[in-house]
Every structure is written in C-alpha cells, then in structure tokens.
C-alpha cells in the first residue's frame, strides 16, 4: 500500500491504544544477539523496520518467530557477522548490530547505513565508542569492518560523548555488556528509549547503573540469560496523534503510553490551547504534574483553532526532533505566527514544500521555520519524503478543505503500524489506496 487519501475538517473523537515503541524495540532486537539462548519481546509493533531487523537477525543465524505482537528470538546458532547491504541501506538503526556482533563473536561488518533523508547523521561517534572498547575499525570502499584487537575480546573503558547521540549510546551499551571489566559512558543520551534498553538488558542479566542519567556504568558479564520483556508504548506515535487532534479538533484518549515520556510536547499542546489530562492508576494529573507511573492514558481536547508556539528541538528532555514535522503541520493551520528551530537534523524541513502545496505559509530562515497560520489548508496531491514528514502530511490533511492524496507512504509504514486504522477509529476520513 503506497498512498493515503484524507478528507479533512472532520473532528476526532474516541480512544485508541498506542503501538509498541519503534525506537525502543529495534536496539532490543539487536541485543538479542548477545545471548546464546531465547529472548522474547511483547507489544512489538508490526512495522517495516521491525520486519527489516527480523531479516537481519535471521541472516545472521538467529531464529525468529512472530506470534501476534510477540517475537521469539533464539540466537544460539548465530555465526555470521556480515550484515547484508540491502538491509543496512534501508534502515539506519541496523548499524547498532555491530556492537552486539563484536560483543558476541568479536567481529562484524556492514556498509554505511541509510534510512530517511533528514541530514548527514555521521556515525563517527559509533565508531569512536567501539574503538575505545578495543575494536579495530577498517573502512574500505564503503564497508566498515570491526574486529577485537585481542582474543580476550572487548575491554571496559571510559567513553565520553561530545554530543548525546541516541544511536551511539545504544552502540556503546550493546558492546559493553559482555566486555571485560567496567565501562563508564559519560554524556550519554537520556531518551526514554535508552532507559528502556537498560531495563531490558538488566532483565537479561546485564549490570547497568545510572539509568535515566547522562552517566551510565556497565559491569561486563560473561553471559546473559533467557528473558521476556514488554516494549513500552511509542511516544512519537502518541505525539503524532496529539498533533492530529490539534489539527482536526475534537476529544481523544490515547491508552498504553507513559505520559512522562511526553512531558514537554504535552505542555506545548496545553500552551497552544488544548486541554490535556493524564491518568495514572486512577489519578488524573495535568501535563505539567509530577510523579508519573510506567503506563497510563492521555486525554487531549481541542476546540477552535490552536494558538502559535515557539519551540526548539534537542536531545531529551528537550523537544524531540521526531515530532517537529507533525507539530509544524498543525501549526500551519493555527492562529498567529509560530517558530520552530531545528537543532538536531539539518534536513528535517524537507516536508515544508509539500505543506506549502496545501496552502501553508512557511519560510525557512537558516535553522528556523517561520509559520504563519492559515485555516483551512487545502487538499492537494503531495509526496512523503521521510517517515515523520509523511505522518506530518497526514496531520496537515486533517486541517485541509477537500481531499488530499499522499503518495510514497511506504515511509510511514516504517514507523506506524497503521496510521489509517488508528485515525479512522477516531473518526477521520482516511484510508489506504493503491498497492
């Protein structure tokens, strides 16, 4: 299915459950390679990136069985160490498999990763971390080959990141779990997905301290154990649907999502005029409250046009770059003038041209998008250039008069189980067309 048709200006009403987290489950699947046994993940989203990571694991010798929203991974027979180019080119997060292969087998190789076209996203921090742990890196004709320098394998060390890269932090964690001695990661990313990965690894028998902070300490262990772990709800999917109700208006409830992982986006939705309530074990708190539990639900209500916002993207707990495009889309139909400064990926504004086709008034001033709200937007034929940009076009279409056709929606399927299913359940006029 490659295209989506949206009929706009229909309010959203009702409640939906949020899928498991894309950005959390992929490094967990890679981590399954570290254990010579069975690893089970539940609440796994049925998305293209999970299917891609499954094929990578199977190529390496890991037996994978999917049953409903669970995946069973048996890595006892893993022997291959080369990740096929066809998978690495299509999904950037495949690069973190290198750390797991080095920890388990002492070597690994792959080409430079691909993924969405949202900027350079160099992997120098990944390679520097692996070198610090004792890997020898060789780069020839676009192929990265990594081997441990001694038969003893990787060795614990101190790693200092100049920038809190999520992928590089995951890479270092996976490589350090089976390394000899203690590894300390300073300047680590603090995104909720990193905390989930640490909890998951500890559940497998790893010893990781400092979860949720910028300093992680890993005591290397000799082996891991069979385990089962539930993936948390996807905060980016939840934030996207929050942006959708801001664009369309209405009253929705999102279930199975931890509100604390979205504290700043929810505060900004309130600032833009929404009513936001977060329920935790029978308690109802405002989005600016404290004391969140692990799971909960979020209710978002919006009447009238939303107000303008000024926001800047940045590493957690700052505003997530993955929600920049969906927020831009609803702000294109808001009152007044909004400003978004992109400080993570230089090409996250790739969706601006498509939103302009829908009548949006957006101009780019270096790293800042200036958005003059217009309502309603107008239906048009547009094209998704990347995962979050495609979701943003869906959000914009909800505030557009008439019909919008969004092409190349395979990007959206990389991270959303079924955006049409979820939004149509809330009353949106949306559906897949074509094959």
**Known binding-site residue numbers for phosphoenolpyruvate:** 22-23
Which residues are CB-neighbours of 338 under 8 A, at least 6 positions away? 308, 309, 310, 331, 370, 371, 373
Strands 207-209 and 215-219: antiparallel
Detail the residues annotated as belonging to a binding site for UDP-N-acetyl-alpha-D-glucosamine: 92, 121-125, 322, 344
Question: 3-class SS at 6?
Answer: strand
Distance, C-alpha 167 to centroid of its chain: 11
Distance, C-alpha 285 to centroid of its chain: 26
Q: Which of 411, 248, 268, 243 is nearest to 325 (CA)?
A: 243
Query: What's the CA gap between 327 and 358, in Å, rounded?
Result: 16
Active site residue 110: no
Strand partners, 16: 254
Query: CB of 403 within 8 A of CB of 379?
Result: yes
Query: What's the CA gap between 202 and 205, in Å, rounded?
Result: 5
Neighbours of 308 (CB within 10 A): 17
Strand partners, 313: 319
Of 52, 62, 116, 278, the catalytic one is 116
Query: What's the CA gap between 12 and 246, in Å, rounded?
Result: 9
Question: 3-class SS at 25?
Answer: helix
Query: What's the CA gap between 190 and 18, in Å, rounded?
Result: 22
Query: What's the CA gap between 336 and 421, in Å, rounded?
Result: 32
| Residue recorded with tokens 């189980």 | 417
Phi, psi of 360 (to 5 degrees): -70, 150
Strand partners, 107: 147
Which residues are CB-neighbours of 345 under 8 A, at least 6 positions away? 118, 119, 121, 321
Query: What's the CA gap between 251 and 255, in Å, rounded?
Result: 13
Residues annotated as catalytic (active site), given as ranges: 116
């Amino acid at each position: 299915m490659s295209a989506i048709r949206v009929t706009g200006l229909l309010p959203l009403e009702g409640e939906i459950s949020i899928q498991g987290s894309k950005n959390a489950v992929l490094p967990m699947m890679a981590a399954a390679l570290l254990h010579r046994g069975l690893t089970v993940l539940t609440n796994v989203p049925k998305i293209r990136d999970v299917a891609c990571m499954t094929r990578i694991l199977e190529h390496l010798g890991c037996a994978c069985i999917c049953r409903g929203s669970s995946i069973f991974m048996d890595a006892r027979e893993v022997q291959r160490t080369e990740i096929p180019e066809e998978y690495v080119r299509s999904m950037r997060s495949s690069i973190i498999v290198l750390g797991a292969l080095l920890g388990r087998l002492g070597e690994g190789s792959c080409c430079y990763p691909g993924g969405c076209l949202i900027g350079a996203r160099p992997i120098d921090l990944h390679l520097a971390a692996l070198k610090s742990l004792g890997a020898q890196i060789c780069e020839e004709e676009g192929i990265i080959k990594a081997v441990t320098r001694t038969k003893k394998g990787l060795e614990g060390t101190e790693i200092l990141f100049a920038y809190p890269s999520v992928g590089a932090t995951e890479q270092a964690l996976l490589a350090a779990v089976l390394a000899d001695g203690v590894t300390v990661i300073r300047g680590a990313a603090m995104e909720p997905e990193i905390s989930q990965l640490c909890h998951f690894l500890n559940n497998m028998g790893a010893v990781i301290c400092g979860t949720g902070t910028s300093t992680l300490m890993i005591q290397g262990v000799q082996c891991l154990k069979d385990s089962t772990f539930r993936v948390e709800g996807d905060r980016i999917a939840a934030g996207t649907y929050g942006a959708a109700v801001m664009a369309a208006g209405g009253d929705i409830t999102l279930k199975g999502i931890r509100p604390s992982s979205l504290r700043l986006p929810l505060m900004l939705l309130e600032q833009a005029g929404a009513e936001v309530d977060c329920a935790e074990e029978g308690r109802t708190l405002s989005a600016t409250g404290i004391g969140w539990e692990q799971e909960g639900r979020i209710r978002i209500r919006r009447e009238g046009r939303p107000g303008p916002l000024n926001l800047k993207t940045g590493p957690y707990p700052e505003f997530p770059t993955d929600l920049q495009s969906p927020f831009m889309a609803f702000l294109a139909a808001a009152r007044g003038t909004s400003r978004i400064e992109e400080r993570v990926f230089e090409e996250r504004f790739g969706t601006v041209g498509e939103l302009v086709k829908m009548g949006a008034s957006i101009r780019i001033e270096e790293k800042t998008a200036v958005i003059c709200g217009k309502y309603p937007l107008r239906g048009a034929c547009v094209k998704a250039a990347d995962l979050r940009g495609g979701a943003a076009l869906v959000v914009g279409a909800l505030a557009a008069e008439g019909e919008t056709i969004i092409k190349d929606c395979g990007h959206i399927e990389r991270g959303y189980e079924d955006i049409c299913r979820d939004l149509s359940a809330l009353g949106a006029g949306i559906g897949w067309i074509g094959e």
